[in-house]
Amino acid sequence: MSELIYKNKNVFDAPGEGELEKAQSYAEGYKSFLDASKTEREAVREAIRLAEEHGFVPITDAARHDGAARFAPGAKIYKPIGGKALFLAVIGKLPPREGVNIAGAHVDSPRLDLKQLPLYEDGEMAFFKTHYYGGIKKYQWVTLPLALHGVVAKTDGSVVDISIGEQEDEPVFFVSDLLPHLGREQNKKTLGEAFTGEQLNILIGTKPAGGEKDTDRFKTAVLELLSAKYGIAEEDFLSAELEAVPAGRARDAGFDKSLILAYGHDDRSCAYAALKAMFDLDGAPEKTAVCVLADKEEIGSEGVTGSKSQIFESFIAELTGGVDFTLKCFENSFCVSADVCNAFDPNFPDVSEKNNAARLNHGMGVMKFTGSGGKSGSSDASAETVARLRKLFAENGVAWQMTELGKVDQGGGGTIAKYMANRGIETIDAGVPVISMHAPWEAAAKLDCYMTYKGIAAIYGKNR
């Protein structure tokens, strides 16, 4: 083959020395992270636990200890935002105002949130009403075991943590579907119409309290159980965030165990890569490395914990020594918007354009642009940025591939990239190619997860 021809390789065909083994052990750590992180709150809690194990301290403590010097090179700090987003940094040899290298991932995933008044009974059964979060295909969320995770904030200031449905001896919950025998009318509907949001009601109990003459006795029975176990009453749901997610652990998939089937690869595969790369930094990098674990990406990155929030400016100001330096810092910064992309699926070849589709096991997927239609809504990284990444990845043994989100005019999507780029930060999208993205169980290749970690490590450590 002519040297002029570009051909992207399957990593299995040319793995670096020891890389396949390293990818396997990386995957074990990643699966543990997934199992501990079924929600954004849990992901932040687990990230902090791991960060503290690696010597990171809350930013308030670090500032006090380092006094006038503020943060010494190599200082490891973190700052949680409302328990649902997290910033971490390893201070570089250059002061942070000279620019930072950022990896920004998100830790929220599509799911069924409970409504604020979720509990009702019908047909001698008790249910929770839900309001789905993020882009789901509703038919995928029926007849599978669901676990409930989240918090109930009470007026006395206490917060009750809830996680039920993950352990073998705990009950699970589910949304019912119609039996095919009576599905004649349902079958005539389109996929998008066959299930409505208001039908995604979770069955939670069938045993009544009291006697036949009592009212609301199925609802009451559930409330009695919740009161005994969690000390909450129905009114407390008003200030609760409870999320129904697929119950169960991340599993190896395929005879060769080359894949991981799990809930929430989008975007915890990149969140874990961004974290792990930060933990594995050897001393102070040249420029300060910043890891952003954002919330609310799946619903538009709005709010305090989303990546549009000025809380990021506030955090950078803490690093640079003031807001005056923050914009200048952004100008000299780089951000990889670490988010998943879609992997080519031969079951659905028509939505992809083969020359520009990510393949499983071909490494980290880089997207120069996202958006839809004529690249609408994309920050579109510059050619120079891509060239720099090509060089950086080549020098650091990072297997990667260029990709785009499906055929032209097939659909589209976005990430946090544009919100970072709009700050004046040079930004590009890159992350793990995923099969069945946004399904309750998504699949990703271990090699691609590992290569994404390597790619982010290169960006933290050696970029610019």
Residues that bind Mn ion (CB under 5 A): 266-267, 339
**Of 135 and 349, which has the nearer Cβ to Mn ion?**
135
Q: Put the strands of the sheet holding 341-342 in their side by side order.
A: 251-253, 259-262, 442-445, 433-435, 341-342
Please state the closest distance from residue 4 (CB atom) to Mn ion, in A.
35
What tokens appear for 228 in the block? 């005994």
- Phi first, then psi: give them for residue 166, nearest 5 degrees: -95, -30
Please state the closest distance from residue 413 (CB atom) to Mn ion, in A.
7
Query: Is the Cβ–Cβ distance between 202 and 130 less than 8 Å?
Result: yes
Rounded to whole angstroms, the Cα distance separating 435 from 160 reads 35
Distance of CA 377 to the CA centre of its chain: 21
Please state the closest distance from residue 340 (CB atom) to Mn ion, in A.
5
**Of 243 and 339, which has the nearer Cβ to Mn ion?**
339
**Of 146 and 416, which has the nearer Cβ to Mn ion?**
416
**Of 119 and 357, which has the nearer Cβ to Mn ion?**
357
**Of 10 and 140, which has the nearer Cβ to Mn ion?**
140
Please state the closest distance from residue 398 (CB atom) to Mn ion, in A.
20
Please state the closest distance from residue 400 (CB atom) to Mn ion, in A.
18
* Residues whose CB is less than 8 angstroms from the CB of residue 115 and which lie 6 or more positions away in sequence, other chains included: 128, 129, 130, 131
Please state the closest distance from residue 455 (CB atom) to Mn ion, in A.
16
**Of 320 and 415, which has the nearer Cβ to Mn ion?**
415
- Phi first, then psi: give them for residue 157, nearest 5 degrees: 95, -10
**Of 231 and 411, which has the nearer Cβ to Mn ion?**
411
Give, in degrees to the nearest 5, the angle at Cα 215 between 212 and 216.
115
Q: How many CA atoms lie within 13 A of 364 on its CB side?
A: 34
Please state the closest distance from residue 443 (CB atom) to Mn ion, in A.
15
Rounded to whole angstroms, the Cα distance separating 51 from 400 reads 27
Lookup result for tokens 């620019």: 99
Query: Is the Cβ–Cβ distance between 462 and 397 less than 8 Å?
Result: no
